[in-house]
Structures are given as C-alpha cells and as structure tokens.
Amino acid sequence: MEFASDNTSGVHPRILDAILAANAGPVASYGADPFTAAARRALADLFETEVHVTLVTTGSAANSLALSALVPPHGTVFCHGEAHINTDECGAPELFTGGAKLTPVSGRAAKITPEAIARVHRNFVRGFHQQLPAAVSITQATEFGAVYTAAEIAEIGAYCRAHGLHLHMDGARFANAVASTGARPADLTWKAGVDALSFGATKNGAMGVEAVVFFNAALAERFDFRVKRTGHVLSKGRFLGAQMAAYLADGLWLENARHANAMAARLAAGLSTLAGVRLATVPEANEVFAILPRPLHEALTASGAHYYDWPGDGPDGGGIGPDEVLVRFVCSFLTAEAEVDRLIALAGNPASEGAAR
C-alpha cells in the first residue's frame, strides 16, 4: 500500500526501453544529441508553439532556474505560502536568483488569485527599500491537489501583464492537471500568459527529467550559462532527452496521469464513505488530502500503509481537530486498483490487517 509519493515509484517500461535504445554508439554530449532534439520538438508540438527547452533532473532545479531568468536578485516572487518553491526546496530559488525573496500569498488549497496577489502587492510602496515585485509563481496542480482552470490562469496572467510581472508555473504535476481539466496544454500556459513552465515527468513515470520550457525566448537568453553554473548540465544528456521523448510519445504522459488521477478519485470516494474520515479538499489530480482520526492513522501506519501526515494547517488553513491528523495519499502511474481497495478496506476495518501482521 504505497501512497507516500509519486516518486517512490520506479520508471515506466517504455521510458526504460528508450534509455536502453539511446545507449548505442557515441553521441555528442551536453545536450547536443538527437534525443534531446527530439524531446524539444515533441514539446513544441505539445504546446503548439515555439519553445525554448532545457532538460534537468529535478523539479527544484527546474523551478529555481526558471525563476533565476524571470526575476532580478533584488526582486520578489509572489507565490502561495505552501508552494513547493517556498517550503520544499531548501532555498534553491533564493540561491539561483542571487537572493530574491518569495513573498507568500494566501489562498484555499494552495491556489492563488489576482485578488489575493493584489492584497500583498499593494503593500509594496516603499520603492527601493523593498524588493521589486517581479514575478508570480503558481503550481499546477497545486501542493494540495487542486487544479487551475485555463480561465483562472488567464486572470492571473492578465494581472501579471498589467503590472509588469513575469508568470512562472511549477508543473511538477502538469500532466495530472491536463488530465483533470481536459484543457489543451497551450491554453493552460502561454495562451494564459505563462512565461516559463517547469514541466515535470519524474513523478509521472520518468527516471529523473524535468523540462524548463520558456514560451518567451527573450527570457531564456544565455540560459545555458545559468544551467551550467548550477551543475545541472549532464554530460550524457542523451538519457534525459530519451526519457522526455518517450514520455511524450504516443500520449504516455497523459495516459499515466489519467490513471493516477483515477486512482486518487477512487481512493477519495472510498475514504469519504468511512465514519470519522473527512476529505480535507476535493482531489482534482492525483493527491488525496484527508483528515483522519488519530487512532485510525496509527492503525493504518502500523499495518504498513505508506503515506505522510502533513505539516501545517491544511488546505483550509485550519479546522483540524486535536485528535485528528491531516494526511496525504499520492497515487502514481503504478498504483493498482487493488492497492487502493485494500487501503480502503483496511481503513474501514483497521483491526483486521494490523492483527494479521
């Protein structure tokens, strides 16, 4: 019963096969290989526009590198307080930008709105005494498993354009958001005003590859220098290219995401039938946040269910009782229906399996 994270899963066989196939013969290093070129073309096709693409191995690198191109060292980025860049990257954005600040914005389920941004933005009246508002970063799907519609992103994009801010999207789970909304990738990104996207693949079946996608090539000027100085240019870049190309080929990325989302929906449906269990928020992608009675949580954990209790105040910023625990379940491309069902059965009768171990 593995629901700890979508990154505890291994690699999809089609991506592994692509890695094997890429191994033949000598190939130019540092990304000047045909596999990376194919991945770039596939991303251009996917987004229906010219894109500037760089492949790196982690989401923290993708996000922080993108931000380093969008904001000056004396700038600030508006993002949700629970954004991954703010809570889970140990200061990589601050390092890569040369010291820019992340200014937290509030919002339900880690989503932000133009109004919420404006409530913080309007306090930036001190001129050079304060960091310069320079960008907005949103996460699609969010850290609480919510999804922005294309229209919601377009509103944020319009706010950004009106105020001279760049717009970054952390798309570590972008595939899940596309699967959830059914929207075209273009509509969720550049057509809505997104300047740069961290396009994730690792959580959704790759070994370790994320694309930094610029829709505005001017922002990517000398970007390769930025990547190199963070140690993120792999010499045998062909294996990043091969992963990304296979991930995008024949709709694998979307197929995987749909499966993970479906498993999350199945899990949420099951959990919501149980006495004492509440969904912390309606899952829109592949993550389920629930509030469990503490004894149930302890019994599940004792029975070998892998998932995390979650720090902080949850999607609503509160409402978790003293005898309750906020927890997160994540489904991946590998999650089996039977595994979901077993978890639900166990949660409905926690004594059973725990006793049997």
Nearer to a second copy, 16 or 154 (CB): 16
Nearer to a second copy, 13 or 276 (CB): 13
Mark 332-343 as b/e (b = at least 16 C-beta within 10 Å): bbbbeeebbeeb
Give the number of other CB atoms < 10 A from CB of residue 61. Answer: 21
| Local structure of 91: helix, strand or coil | coil
CB of 351 to a second copy, least distance (A): 25
Nearer to a second copy, 117 or 183 (CB): 117
Q: Which residues contact 237 (CB under 8 A, 6 or more apart)?
A: 29, 30, 31, 32, 33, 35, 36, 55
CB of 247 to a second copy, least distance (A): 14
Nearer to a second copy, 48 or 309 (CB): 309
Nearer to a second copy, 11 or 136 (CB): 11
CB of 173 to a second copy, least distance (A): 13
CB of 50 to a second copy, least distance (A): 21
Nearest to 332 by CA among 314, 350, 302, 307: 307
CB of 130 to a second copy, least distance (A): 6
Nearer to a second copy, 183 or 325 (CB): 325
CA dist., res. 179 & res. 332, Å (int): 13
For the record, the structure tokens of 169 come out as 């999207």
For the record, the structure tokens of 106 come out as 């509030």
CB of 184 to a second copy, least distance (A): 28
Give the number of other CB atoms < 10 A from CB of residue 18. Answer: 25
Are the beta carbons of 189 and 197 closer than 8 angstroms? yes
